[in-house]
A and B are shown apart, each in its own frame.
Chain A
Amino acid sequence: MTQLEGKTALVTGGSRGIGRAIVQTLAQAGARVAFVYQSNAQAAEQLVAELAAKQLSATAYQANVANKDAADDIVKKVVDGWGKLDILVNNAGIVRDTLLATMSPEQWHEVIETNLTSVFNFCQAVTRPMMSARYGRIINMSSVAAEFGNKGQTNYAASKGGIEGFTRCLAKELASRGVTVNAVAPGFIETDMTAAVRNAAEAEIKKAIPARRLGKPEDIAQAVLFLAGDGASYLTGQVLKIDGGLTLGGF
């Protein structure tokens, strides 16, 4: 595949789960990809090696995405090194599920900062280079939890709802500059992050999904690939749910 030939991309939370699939998919489509990982250096190195074995290159940066200086620094390195940044995927996200009554301020702030403040940090850092280039694709990772809510996820759903509002505002701000801003809202996807809830209720969950299966990281990566491409230039400010029909309601 060469649909992203000549493009450059930056993916946060890129070493595992959905982010890993996005890095692989964008690289396979011909893009030069940089990704940010927080803690699992082994997973990051393994991903770089896997891609290298396929003659694809990816660059890994370790950082806390909630840190503004780190975001500025990474975006600067990518833009200086490759001359431009075409695609930003804000994928980094964590859960700290617990009922509100027992949620610590730390659990609240950690989720808001990692999931939502990181989007502010990286979007602000790419605004100038993308505006100047009159081209950009920003894709933010939301969740169906933003719209539908789950018990124990007030912090997570607030961060994702925040991302959706943010996405619509920034889409309007940058539309005249050839920069699109969209969000993807996955349903239940088979990743480490959903392992706990899947272990507890996988059969129940599958019953609720019309497609009768959980999603795979690749299902999300394919949507990101479409949004990142030249063909999606008139699509902006949207939230695309990818959930096997989970949230359709009815019968």
Chain B
Amino acid sequence: MPTADEIFAKVRETLVDALGVDDDEITPEATLVGDLGAESIDFLDIVFRLEKNFAIKIPRGELFPESLAADQSLVKDGVVTPQGIAELRVKMPHADVEKFSKNPKVENIQELFTVQMIVNFLQNKLSGGSA
């Protein structure tokens, strides 16, 4: 079981390759879309590379849940409902949902996708957790 630092180093390497960004841009707090410029196809690429680099399988939607904003019951008037936030906590235990819940606008969902979120996910995954 690698340490958190070892996982972070490997995630950084993966993101440098996948996104063509510099080492020093990859901080734990950096958001994939806002700070690192990731687009939809990049999320797929990141998953492929993580699977290879960590020799694991990441089922579709597990690291980056899809179409969160499309469910009418979870979003109302551009804001994620309390039910939606509860759903996010279940689907993304690796993300900082607490921080998001303070300003739960739909467009802020992408801020959940940080480098630290990937590290958390992998830590749990590599220690035998389910998500």
- Hey, which chain A residues are within 8 Å of B52, CB to CB? 132
- Provide the A164-208 mask, 1 if CB < 8 A to any CB of B, else 0: 000000000110110000000000000000000000000000000
Answer yes or no: B91 CB below 8 A from chain A CBs. no
| B44 CB–A CB distance under 8 Å | yes
A128 within 8 A of B: yes
Q: Which residue of A lies closest to B47 (CB)?
A: A128
Q: Does A95 lie at the interface of the complex (its beta carbon under 8 Å from any beta carbon of B)? A: no
**At the interface, yes or no: B105 with Cβ under 8 Å from chain A?**
no
Which residues of chain A come closer than 8 Å to B39, judged between CB atoms? 176
**Interface size counted on chain B using CB atoms at 8 A:** 7
Contact A176 B48 (CB under 8 A): no
Shortest A1–chain B CB gap in Å is 33
Task: Please report the C-alpha to C-alpha distance between residue A173 and residue B52 in the assembled complex, in whole angstroms.
Answer: 22
Closest to A131 in B: B45
- Name the distance in Å between B53's Cβ and chain A's nearest Cβ: 11
Counting chain A CB atoms within 10 Å of each CB, the highest count among B44, B49, B52 belongs to B44
A131 CA to B45 CA in the complex, in Å? Answer: 7
Question: What's the tally of chain A residues with a CB closer than 8 Å to chain B?
Answer: 7
- Chain A, residues 117-160, CB within 8 Å of chain B (1/0): the string is 00000000000100110000000000000000000000000000
Distance of B102 from chain A, by nearest CB (Å) = 33
Contact with A along B28-60 (1 / 0, CB 8 A): 000000000001010011001100100000000
User: Is A128 a contact partner of B48 (Cβ separation < 8 A)?
Assistant: yes
B48 touches A177 (CB 8 A): no
Are B41 and A132 touching (Cβ within 8 A)? no
Residues in chain B near residue A128, CB distance under 8 A: 48
What residue of chain B has the Cβ atom nearest to residue A129's Cβ?
B48
CA A113 – CA B72 in complex, angstroms?
35
Alpha-carbon gap, A176 to B49, bound state (A): 16
Cβ–Cβ < 8 Å partners of B44 in chain A: 131
Interface centre among B41, B44, B48, B52 (most CB of A within 10 A): B41
A23 to chain B, nearest CB (A): 29
Cα(A173)–Cα(B45), bound, Å: 12
What is the CB-to-nearest-CB distance from B74 to chain A, in angstroms, rounded to a whole number? 26
- Shortest CB–CB separation between residue A73 and chain B, in angstroms? 19
Which residues on B sit within 8 Å (CB–CB) of A177?
Answer: 41, 45
Tell me whether A173 and B48 are in contact (CB under 8 A).
no
B86 to chain A, nearest CB (A): 33
- Cα separation A92 to B45 with both chains bound (whole Å): 29
Chain A residues whose CB sits within 8 angstroms of the CB of B49 once the complex forms: 132
B120 shortest CB reach to chain A, Å = 25
| Contact partners of A176 in chain B: CB under 8 A | 39, 41
Shortest Cβ distance from B10 into chain A, in angstroms?
16
Cα distance, A174 to B41, chains bound together (Å): 8
Closest A residue to B39 using CB positions: A176
- Cα A131 to Cα B49 in complex, Å, equals 10
Given contacts A131-B44, A132-B45, A176-B41, 7 further A-B contacts (CB under 8 A): A128-B48, A132-B48, A132-B52, A174-B41, A176-B39, A177-B41, A177-B45
Between-chain CB contacts (< 8 Å), 15 pairs:
A128-B48, A131-B41, A131-B44, A131-B45, A131-B48, A132-B45, A132-B48, A132-B49, A132-B52, A173-B41, A174-B41, A176-B39, A176-B41, A177-B41, A177-B45
Residues on B lying within 8 angstroms of A by beta carbon are 39, 41, 44-45, 48-49, 52
Complex A-B, nearest 3 residue pairs according to Cβ-Cβ distance, in ascending order = A131-B45, A173-B41, A128-B48
